[in-house]
Amino acid sequence: MGDKVKGDPKKEVSEVELNYIIQIQDSIAHLKNLDRVFQCIYLDPPFDLGRTFKYSAVLDGPEFKDKWDGDDYAVWLDQLLEQCKRVLAKDGTLFLHMSAGQSLIPEMVLNKHFSKVEKIFWQKAHGKNTVKNKLGAVVDIIFMASGNKRKFNLVYVPLDDYYLENSYTQKDARGFYALGAIKHDKTRKGHFYTVTNPKTGDTYEVPYGWRFPEEEMLRMIAEDRIHFPKMKKATLYKKLYKHENKGKPLSDLWTDVHYITRTDQDQRYYPTQKPFKLLRRIVAIASDPGDWVLDPCAGSGTTGAAALSLGRNAYMIDINPEATPIINERLAKAEAAGIIPIEEDVNGGNADKKSKKKRKKTSKKKKSDPNQSTLSGI
């Protein structure tokens, strides 16, 4: 069913053989004849906004038209999603990026093709001071569509600075720690048993039960990971150590990634380009090292650059010939930068400039079809 490369999460990402493919073609026509399976698909299609997007109003640069007649947009999107679903792995995920104001048609079409459609709300900017007669548009919706079973990797985001400074106030021989709740409230029924402080013999019971089984509680007590208060009958807590904290589990509201500006940190190449960090997060959620990632509306190639930076293979399609040199430049830079673990984004590392692991260049350059595509090996 195609030459799928299955990622191995346990395998060192530096050992994964990677490739990227660039196709300058109509996506629907190309996907109809494509015999390949993708673990993750991201598309940032036209939004049906009735305008022409330019890189600059005064300088030469890439541009594309987002103008449609009647139902043409809905028909086109339906056909594109049909082909995307055909090449999506059974446990794969498709992400569709759309402005909040234009999300009705995409949501309807997605629900036609997928059994599970969820929404991620991305706050791309703070309030705008240029609007006068409407509310500032600061939120995009990223639809996450899949079957009932999908590959999912939990991703973390940095903790709030105030929380970091004010929560880890307790200290023992292991280090500074915060207090985590271990008892249920009255809305849930937990596990019922008596907890004994091994040092004082004091016993503890709670009216609605503990959050985990007795075996786990005993293990944590033995490892000194339960905070016993000095006052009798006070509440017990779990010790959450600062040095062990991975960050905050990602939710469906993303407020920590901002729209790109024309800076060296995330250089802007294309009118509707999305942040590198945003695409790294999306790719990390739904794929493993060695998996293939598809973007059928590639634009500036950010998806491909993000995929390569995480040890995934990239397949880029765009109908605009002006995108070719831009995508080639982006992917060449990603190749030079090497693999950057997603943890870099949580720990404050600059994913555009820092690299802890370099790619092992084990793949050979493959021949491409000169009439249709550009194919490079990494």
Predicted confidence at residue 53, as pLDDT, reads: 36
Predicted confidence at residue 134, as pLDDT, reads: 77
Q: What is the per-residue pLDDT across 277-316, written as a single tens digit (0 to 9) for each? A: 999 999 999 999 999 999 999 988 999 999 999 999 999 9
**Cβ(286)–Cβ(39) below 8 Å:** yes
Q: Rounded to a whole number, what is the distance in angstroms from the first to the last CA of the chain?
A: 24
Of 257, 301, 296, the residue nearest 62 (C-alpha): 301
Predicted confidence at residue 346, as pLDDT, reads: 76
Structure tokens at 191: 């596990």
Predicted confidence at residue 168, as pLDDT, reads: 93
> Lowest mean pLDDT: which of 61-65, 194-198, 238-242, 354-358?
354-358
Query: What is the pLDDT confidence band of residue 270, given thresholds at 50, 70 and 90?
Result: low
Of 98, 92, 41, 110, the residue nearest 66 (C-alpha): 98
**Cβ(369)–Cβ(354) below 8 Å:** no
With 50 as the cut, is the pLDDT of residue 217 above it?
Answer: yes
Q: What is the per-residue pLDDT across 146-160, written as a single tens digit (0 to 9) for each? A: 999 999 999 998 888
Q: What is the mean pLDDT of residues 167-196?
A: 92
Which range of 15-19, 66-70, 318-322 scores highest in mean pLDDT? It is: 318-322
How far apart are alpha carbons 130 and 282 in whole angstroms?
30
Q: What is the per-residue pLDDT across 337-378, written as a single tens digit (0 to 9) for each? A: 899 999 888 765 444 444 344 444 433 333 333 333 333 333
Predicted confidence at residue 45, as pLDDT, reads: 86
Q: What is the mean pLDDT of residues 11-32?
A: 81
Residue scoring higher pLDDT (238 or 133): 238
Predicted confidence at residue 299, as pLDDT, reads: 86
Query: What is the pLDDT confidence band of residue 9, given thresholds at 50, 70 and 90?
Result: very low
Q: What is the mean pLDDT of residues 215-232?
A: 94
Q: What is the per-residue pLDDT across 26-57, written as a single tens digit (0 to 9) for each? A: 999 999 999 999 999 999 987 444 444 344 43
Of 298, 291, 294, the residue nearest 273 (C-alpha): 298
Predicted confidence at residue 195, as pLDDT, reads: 96
Helix (H, G, I), strand (E, B) or coil at 376: strand
> Lowest mean pLDDT: which of 128-137, 168-177, 181-190, 275-284?
128-137
The two counts, helices (H) then strands (E), for the chain are 9, 19
Q: Report the 10 Å Cβ neighbour count for 228.
A: 18
CA within 13 Å, CB half, 101: 8
How far apart are alpha carbons 116 and 149 in whole angstroms?
9
Q: What is the per-residue pLDDT across 51-104, written as a single tens digit (0 to 9) for each? A: 443 444 334 555 445 556 667 888 989 999 999 999 999 999 999 999 888 888
Predicted confidence at residue 125, as pLDDT, reads: 81
Residue scoring higher pLDDT (264 or 190): 190
How far apart are alpha carbons 121 and 213 in whole angstroms?
35
Q: What is the mean pLDDT of residues 163-175?
A: 91
For the chain, the average pLDDT equals 81
Query: What is the pLDDT confidence band of residue 227, given thresholds at 50, 70 and 90?
Result: very high
Query: What is the pLDDT confidence band of residue 162, given thresholds at 50, 70 and 90?
Result: confident
Beta bridge partners of 51: 66
Characterize 43-66 residue by residue with b for buried, 16 or more Cβ atoms within 10 angstroms of its Cβ, and e for exposed. bbbbbbeeeebebeeeeeebebeb
